[in-house]
């Protein structure tokens, strides 16, 4: 590519610029006739394959109309020969996953509750399945993260305290039959008396016992009132809540000597609890969920952080 331009080329004067925009080529296509600031537009014909592609899309559309739901009619769209519907597709997919989960569900049903966690594969399945059941059935009260709602008395499932026990068996039983639920004979049941409302204790005694509970749970209290409250507690409360206030899983009696409160541990809330009594209810899921789903959600709740 070095200098090999012949001599005569050098002496010949340039006939035209290269490339010269003003010189029209032989095959110069016609223009549309419009001119924008001197810029014109070629009026080239479309390539024919493009036309074919266009026809192909028309044929595609006609075939689609015939095979798939297409034209809106008075009562829904034309169904199409394939009978396809997006809803039907979802149903099929659900059925397919049901089928795939079947083996796991059977294993879950056949495994003792307490030993599910020994099988990592089964535990992983149970926790995953349980978390979706929890989100759909339990999170309304217990919260998406399982933290409960204190103001409404929905228990926190993450801590290390349980009303009715935190073993797999206990949790399973609670979910299956619910709490204070008349639909199931096996539902857990207990009822705290409304000591004030029903006249079992007078207001002075309630004041005393509340101070005793404040002392028991390590909060600020009036020593004189608390001392008097001990006797009130011993006579009226200890049978369920325990001599030391440790609570009783069998009666769903919460511990009173810890930092965890279902409704609140301040004086006013405690006074209200004693005067009017409190007890929450929970629906049973024995008929709403399949056995395996109940076992799965029990496994999920058990591993949230407080399982025993």
Partner 1 sequence: MSSPDTPPKLYAAREPIFPRRVEGSYRTMKWWLLGMMLAIYYITPWIRWDRGPEMPDQAVLLDLANRRFFFFMIEIWPHEFYFVAGLLIMAGIGLFLFTSALGRVWCGYACPQTVWTDLFILVERWIEGDRNARLRLHRKKWDAEKVRKYGLKWLVWALIGLATGGAWVFYFTDAPTLARDLVTLQAHPIAWITIAILTATTFFFGGFFREQICIYACPWPRIQAAMMDEDTLTISYRDWRGEPRGKLRKGQTAPEGTQGDCIDCMACVNVCPMGIDIRDGQQMECITCGLCIDACNDVMDRIGKPRDLIGYLALSDETRERAGEPQLPAWKHVFRPRTVLYTVIWGGIGIALIAALFLRSDIDMSVSPIRNPTHVVLSDGSVRNAYDVSIRNMHGSPREFRIELSDGAPFELELQGIAGQTLTLPADTQHSQRVYLTAPAGSEEAQVQSTPARLWVVETAGNERIHTDTVFNGRAQ
What phi and psi, each to the nearest 5 degrees, are found at residue 166?
A: -115, 15
Tokens of residue 41, six digits: 């537009």
- Determine the 3-state secondary structure of 42 from DSSP: strand
Among 35, 40, 51, 136, binds partner 1 (CB under 8 A): 51
Q: Rule CB under 8 A: is residue 5 a binding residue for partner 1?
A: yes
Beta-carbon contacts of 306 under 8 Å, excluding residues fewer than 6 positions away, are 157, 158, 159, 160, 161, 162, 166
Tell me which residue of 198, 234, 190 sits closest to 216, measured CA to CA: 234
Q: Rule CB under 8 A: is residue 159 a binding residue for partner 1?
A: yes
Among 34, 36, 37, 50, binds partner 1 (CB under 8 A): 50
Q: Rule CB under 8 A: is residue 156 a binding residue for partner 1?
A: yes
Question: Which CB sits closer to partner 1, 178 or 247?
Answer: 247
The angle subtended at Cα 119 by Cα 115 and Cα 122, nearest 5°, is 100
Q: Would you say 294 and 285 are in contact if contact means Cβ atoms under 8 Å apart?
A: yes
- Determine the 3-state secondary structure of 85 from DSSP: coil
Among 143, 165, 242, 283, binds partner 1 (CB under 8 A): 143
Residue 185 CB, nearest approach to partner 1 (Å): 32
Q: Could you give the C-alpha distances from 308 to 158, 162, 190, in angstroms and in order? A: 12, 9, 22
Residue 48 CB, nearest approach to partner 1 (Å): 5
Using CB under 8 A, which of the segments 39-47, 178-186, 227-235, 278-286 binds partner 1? 39-47
Using CB under 8 A, which of the segments 40-48, 94-102, 175-183, 279-287 binds partner 1? 40-48
Q: Rule CB under 8 A: is residue 121 a binding residue for partner 1?
A: no
Q: Rule CB under 8 A: is residue 100 a binding residue for partner 1?
A: no
Q: Could you give the C-alpha distances from 115 to 107, 108, 119, in angstroms and in order? A: 12, 10, 7
Question: Which CB sits closer to partner 1, 150 or 277?
Answer: 150
| C-alpha to C-alpha distance for 255 and 9, rounded to whole angstroms | 109
- The footprint of partner 1 on this chain (CB under 8 A) covers a number of residues equal to 47
- The helix (H) or strand (E) run that includes residue 108 is helix 86-110
Among 79, 83, 88, 145, binds partner 1 (CB under 8 A): 145
Question: Which CB sits closer to partner 1, 14 or 38?
Answer: 14
Give the burial class of 277: count Cβ atoms within 10 A of its Cβ; 0-12 exposed, 13-18 middle, 19 or more buried: middle
List binders of partner 1 among 196-255 (CB under 8 A).
218, 255
Residues in the chain: 308
Using CB under 8 A, which of the segments 85-93, 153-161, 173-181, 286-294 binds partner 1? 153-161
Using CB under 8 A, which of the segments 12-20, 197-205, 231-239, 270-278 binds partner 1? 12-20
Residue 183 CB, nearest approach to partner 1 (Å): 31
Question: Which CB sits closer to partner 1, 115 or 144?
Answer: 144
Q: Rule CB under 8 A: is residue 3 a binding residue for partner 1?
A: yes
Cα torsion 21, 25, 27, 29: sign: positive
User: Given the rule CB under 8 A, which residues bind partner 1?
Assistant: 1-6, 8-12, 14-16, 18-19, 25, 27, 29-30, 43-51, 117, 123, 143-145, 147, 156, 158-161, 218, 255, 258-260, 303, 305
């Amino acid at each position: 590519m070095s200098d090999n331009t012949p001599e005569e080329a050098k002496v010949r004067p340039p006939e035209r610029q290269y490339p010269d925009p003003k010189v029209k080529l032989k095959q110069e296509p016609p223009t549309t006739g419009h001119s924008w600031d001197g810029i014109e537009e070629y009026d080239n014909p479309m390539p024919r394959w493009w036309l074919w592609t266009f026809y192909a899309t028309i044929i595609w559309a006609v075939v689609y109309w015939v095979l798939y739901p297409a034209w809106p009619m008075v009562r829904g769209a034309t169904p199409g020969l394939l009978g396809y519907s997006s809803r039907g597709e979802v149903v099929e997919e659900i059925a397919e996953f049901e089928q795939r989960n079947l083996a796991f569900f059977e294993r879950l049903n056949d495994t003792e509750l307490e030993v599910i966690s020994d099988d990592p594969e089964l535990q992983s399945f149970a926790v995953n399945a349980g978390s979706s059941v929890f989100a759909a059935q339990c999170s309304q009260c217990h919260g998406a993260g399982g933290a409960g709602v204190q103001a409404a008395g929905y228990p926190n499932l993450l801590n290390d305290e349980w009303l009715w026990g935190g073993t797999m068996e206990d949790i399973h039983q609670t979910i299956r039959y619910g709490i204070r639920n008349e639909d199931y004979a096996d539902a857990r049941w207990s009822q705290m008396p409304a000591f004030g409302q029903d006249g079992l204790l007078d207001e002075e005694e309630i004041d005393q016992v509340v101070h005793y509970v404040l002392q028991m749970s390590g909060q600020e209290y009036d020593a004189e009132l608390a001392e008097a409250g001990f006797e009130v507690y011993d006579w009226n409360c200890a049978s369920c809540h325990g001599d030391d206030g440790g609570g009783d899983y069998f009666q769903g009696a919460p511990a009173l000597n810890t930092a965890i409160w279902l409704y609140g541990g301040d004086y006013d809330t405690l006074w209200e609890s004693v005067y009017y009594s409190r007890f929450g209810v929970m629906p049973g899921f024995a008929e709403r969920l399949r056995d395996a789903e109940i076992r799965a959600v029990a496994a999920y709740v058990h591993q949230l952080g407080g399982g025993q």
